[in-house]
C-alpha cells in the first residue's frame, strides 16, 4: 500500500475582489469543506497558464465554479475542456461544480447556454430521480435535499449517454453522471452560508439578499456528497 496521491483542485479564475476579501477563493472553500491538509491536495490555475495535471499524478480532480461563462470560450476554458476529455478517457475521477459542471457537460458533447428560467440563487430544493438510487455515490443520500446555488447559465442538453440524476424547480440538470468515475453538480457543495452571502452581496440588492438568506440553515447533504467523493477515491488511490 502506498500513500494516496493528492486531490487536484482546478480553480477556474478567481472571485471578484469584494468576495475574495471576505471569504477567500474557490480553493480555500474546498480545502475547508474537505478538511484537507498540506500534501493532500494541489491547486491548479489554468486561467493563469498553469499546466493541468497528468492523470497518473493525482487521485482525483475537482473543477471549481467561476464567474466566467462557458459560452465565452476563453482559451483556458477550452484547454481545460480538452483536458477533461483526456481525463475521462483515462478514467481519472472527476467532480465538476457549477462552472465545472457546465464545462464537463460541454466538453463531453452537451450544450450550455443561459438558463431560460433565469438565475437560480440562494438555498434551493433538489430532488433526485430513480436513477440516483443505483448510483454508488448518491444512493446513501436522501431523495430531497437543499443546496446553495448561484448560476445564470445551465446545461441545456446533457452529453449523449450521460445520466441526469437530480433536478430543481429552475434547473433540470442538477447532477449528471458521465462515467463510473466522472460526475458533476450544478450546486455548490463547498459553500457555507457565509460564502453564499458574500457572493449574493456582490450581485444583489440588500433587499433581495435579505429575502434569499432569511431563516436558512446550512445544508448537510451536498457536503456529504463532496466528502464521500473524496474519501472514495482517496481510499482507491491508496490501494492502487
Q: What's the confidence (pLDDT) of residue 238?
A: 60
Q: In the chain, which stretches have pLDDT less than 50?
A: 1-2
Tell me which of 120, 151, 190, 199 is the catalytic residue: 190
CA distance linking residue 192 with residue 217, whole number of Å: 9
Scan for cell 446545461, then name that residue.
155
What is the 3 state secondary structure string of 162-202? Answer: CEEEEEECCCCCCEEEEECCEEEECCCCCCCHHHHHHHHHH
CA distance linking residue 201 with residue 205, whole number of Å: 7
Cα angle: 17, vertex 146, 190; to 5 degrees = 40
Q: What's the confidence (pLDDT) of residue 141?
A: 95
Scan for cell 453522471, then name that residue.
177
Tell me which of 98, 173, 199, 233 is the catalytic residue: 98
* pTM (2 d.p.): 0.93
- Does residue 98 have an active-site annotation? yes
CA distance linking residue 55 with residue 25, whole number of Å: 24
Tell me which of 173, 188, 199, 233 is the catalytic residue: 188
- Strand ranges (E), the chain: 7-10, 41-44, 60-63, 94-97, 111-114, 120-128, 144-151, 153-157, 163-168, 175-179, 182-185
Q: What's the confidence (pLDDT) of residue 204?
A: 62
Q: What's the confidence (pLDDT) of residue 2?
A: 37
CA distance linking residue 29 with residue 19, whole number of Å: 12
How long a stretch of residues is the chain? 240
Amino acid at each position: 500500500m502506498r500513500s494516496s496521491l493528492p486531490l487536484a483542485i482546478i480553480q477556474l479564475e478567481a472571485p471578484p475582489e469584494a468576495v475574495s476579501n471576505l471569504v477567500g477563493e474557490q480553493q480555500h472553500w474546498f480545502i475547508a469543506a474537505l478538511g484537507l491538509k498540506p500534501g493532500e491536495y494541489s491547486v491548479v490555475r489554468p486561467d493563469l497558464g498553469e499546466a493541468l495535471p497528468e492523470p497518473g499524478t493525482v487521485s482525483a480532480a475537482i473543477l471549481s465554479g467561476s464567474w466566467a461563462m462557458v459560452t465565452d470560450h476563453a482559451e483556458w476554458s477550452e484547454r481545460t475542456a480538452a483536458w477533461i476529455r483526456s481525463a475521462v478517457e483515462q478514467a481519472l475521477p472527476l467532480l465538476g461544480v457549477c462552472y465545472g459542471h457546465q464545462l464537463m457537460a460541454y466538453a463531453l458533447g452537451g450544450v450550455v447556454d443561459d438558463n431560460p428560467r433565469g438565475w437560480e440563487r440562494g438555498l434551493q430544493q433538489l430532488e433526485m430521480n430513480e436513477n440516483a438510487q443505483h448510483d454508488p455515490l448518491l444512493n446513501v443520500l436522501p431523495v430531497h435535499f437543499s443546496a446553495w446555488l448561484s448560476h445564470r447559465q445551465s446545461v441545456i442538453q446533457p452529453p449523449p449517454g450521460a445520466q441526469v440524476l437530480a433536478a430543481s424547480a429552475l434547473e433540470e440538470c442538477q447532477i449528471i453522471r458521465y462515467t463510473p468515475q466522472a460526475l458533476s453538480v450544478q450546486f455548490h457543495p463547498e459553500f457555507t452560508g457565509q460564502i453564499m452571502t458574500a457572493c449574493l452581496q456582490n450581485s444583489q440588492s440588500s433587499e433581495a439578499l435579505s429575502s434569499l438568506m432569511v431563516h436558512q440553515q446550512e445544508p448537510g447533504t451536498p457536503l456529504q456528497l463532496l466528502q464521500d467523493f473524496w474519501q472514495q477515491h482517496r481510499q482507491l488511490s491508496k490501494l492502487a
